């Protein structure tokens, strides 16, 4: 009897086959350079995305305009960077195809551009999303983000045979989100770093209200094998946001902010081996084959990273669920670590309990004040 549902076993097969080849296709740390960026204007064709209340403005039109402006700025400043669009016209592209375009071009960064909407016209501001399981189930924000995920993923239902194409994933079925937890995103930290740059830049306006950086199970982020961020630029349902998004100057300013975030991220990406943790995996295995290094983690401590946020939470914040973590600054984000111990075994014993409260948590090693995933 098969105890693993079909859509979950399919995901396991995808991870087994696709992830190693994706890592091998990436550059080695000594060659690390951002050479290809894929820009993904959300929606298109028969999928209009969000629509303004007067029915005259479509998300698909605005996202394409901003993506093209951003691409032009990148190409002008970096002629050696290949800019690829998942769509350059008003055409319908499946979520699978969007991810496949990025994977096929061996992209070093994937930027998906969207615009939000809500029943309440007061909701406003931008947000940045990286792949992960949503947290904060007891909060209204969790339900809000789950609704957002369902809407962005629901484009799948426009396809004739989506149940086969997407391995049984149903965007309207909460149980379908379980399979996202099987994916260990090898590019999580790079995605967080770019999301932090995006938040810092967009906070300068013209839509300056930040709704934060979120982990969310967007299908298009899950299937991409590179750093990937989905940006919601504002709210179609908010008159002020919509006015900015419709104006030529507003789109130009937003594209400039996104370009500045790209420029800052590229500078760090090109010059830092620390950003290539995923690419370094094959090299580490090779070193292990040559024999263990006794000195490698001599003075290391071990812990469990439960959160990565762009802000420092106060002690006792509900998001910490009763834990009092050590907080480690890492660029423009903060890493929250609990269960710190000099013993790896002791930390792993603690991890079992932490994992139940924070399903996305993972073991880390702490050396010289720097936190990195335990290999």
CATH for 6-274 (3.40.630.40, 3.40.30.10, 3.30.590.10, 2.30.30.100): 3.40.630.40
CATH for 292-373 (3.30.70.1070, 3.50.50.60, 3.30.43.10, 1.10.1060.10): 3.30.70.1070
Q: Where in the chain is the domain with CATH 3.30.70.1070?
A: 292-373
Q: Where in the chain is the domain with CATH 3.40.630.40?
A: 6-274
Contact in structure between 128 and 198 (CB atoms under 8 Å):
yes
* Segment among 119-133, 208-222, 312-326 with least mean pLDDT: 208-222
* Segment among 59-73, 150-164, 167-181, 333-347 with least mean pLDDT: 167-181
**Mean pLDDT, to the nearest integer, of 229-253?**
97
Estimate the crossing angle of helix 248-271 against helix 188-202, to 10 degrees: 140
Compare 107 and 164 and report the one with higher pLDDT: 107
What proportion of the chain, given as a percentage, has pLDDT over 70? 67
Show the tokens assigned to 176: 């379908």
- Under the banding of pLDDT at 50, 70 and 90, the label for residue 362 is confident
pLDDT above 90 for 323: yes
Compare 29 and 260 and report the one with higher pLDDT: 260
- CA angle 371/373/374 to nearest 5° reads 110
Identify the pLDDT of residue 254.
98
Residue with tokens 């930290």: 189
Contact in structure between 201 and 260 (CB atoms under 8 Å):
yes
Give the other-Cβ count within 10 Å of 232's Cβ.
22
CB-based burial, 300-327: b 16+ in 10 Å, e otherwise: ebbbbbbbbbbeeeeeeeeebeebebee
- Under the banding of pLDDT at 50, 70 and 90, the label for residue 60 is very high
Rg (the chain; Cα; Å): 21
Beta strands in the chain (DSSP E): 36-41, 82-85, 109-116, 126-131, 210-216, 228-235, 301-309, 326-330, 333-341, 362-367, 370-373
- Under the banding of pLDDT at 50, 70 and 90, the label for residue 54 is very high
Identify the pLDDT of residue 161.
52
Q: How far apart are CA 57 and CA 280, in angstroms?
A: 45
Nearest CA to 255 among 41, 99, 36? 41
pLDDT above 80 for 7: no
Show the tokens assigned to 202: 């967009």
pLDDT above 90 for 207: yes
Each residue's pLDDT tens digit, 15-38: 333 343 344 444 544 457 899 999
pLDDT above 70 for 370: yes
**Mean pLDDT, to the nearest integer, of 262-287?**
59
């Amino acid at each position: 009897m098969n105890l693993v549902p079909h859509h979950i076993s399919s995901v396991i097969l995808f991870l087994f086959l696709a992830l190693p080849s994706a890592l091998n296709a990436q550059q080695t740390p000594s060659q690390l350079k951002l050479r290809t960026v894929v820009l993904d204007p959300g929606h298109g064709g028969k999928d209009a995305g969000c629509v303004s209340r007067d029915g005259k403005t479509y998300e698909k039109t605005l996202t394409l305009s901003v993506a093209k402006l951003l691409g032009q700025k990148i190409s002008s400043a970096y002629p050696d960077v290949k800019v690829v669009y998942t769509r350059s016209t008003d055409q319908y592209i499946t979520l699978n195809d969007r991810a496949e375009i990025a994977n096929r071009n061996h992209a070093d960064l994937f930027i998906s551009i969207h615009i939000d909407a809500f029943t309440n016209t007061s909701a406003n501001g931008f947000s940045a999303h990286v792949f992960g399981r949503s947290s904060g189930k007891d909060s209204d924000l969790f339900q809000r983000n789950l609704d957002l995920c369902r809407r962005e993923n629901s484009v799948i239902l426009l396809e004739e045979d989506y149940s086969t194409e997407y391995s049984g994933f149903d965007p309207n079925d909460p149980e379908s989100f379980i399979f996202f937890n099987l994916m260990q995103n090898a590019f999580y930290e790079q995605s967080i770093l770019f999301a932090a740059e995006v938040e810092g830049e967009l906070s300068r306006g013209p839509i300056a209200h930040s709704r934060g950086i979120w982990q969310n199970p967007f299908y298009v982020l899950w299937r991409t094998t590179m750093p990937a961020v989905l940006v919601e630029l504002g709210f179609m349902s908010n008159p002020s946001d919509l006015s900015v998004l419709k104006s030529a100057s507003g789109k130009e300013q937003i594209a400039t902010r996104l370009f500045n975030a790209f420029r800052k991220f590229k500078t760090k990406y090109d010059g830092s081996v620390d950003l290539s943790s995923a690419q370094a995996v094959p090299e580490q295995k090779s070193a292990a084959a040559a024999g263990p290094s006794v000195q490698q983690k001599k003075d290391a401590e071990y812990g469990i990273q439960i959160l990565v946020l762009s802000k420092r939470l106060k002690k006792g914040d509900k998001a910490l669920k009763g834990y009092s973590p050590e907080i480690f600054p890492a660029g423009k984000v903060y890493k929250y670590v609990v269960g710190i111990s000099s013993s790896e075994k002791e930390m792993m014993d603690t991890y079992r309990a932490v994992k139940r409260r924070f399903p996305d948590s993972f073991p880390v090693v702490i050396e010289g004040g720097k936190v990195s995933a335990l290999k």
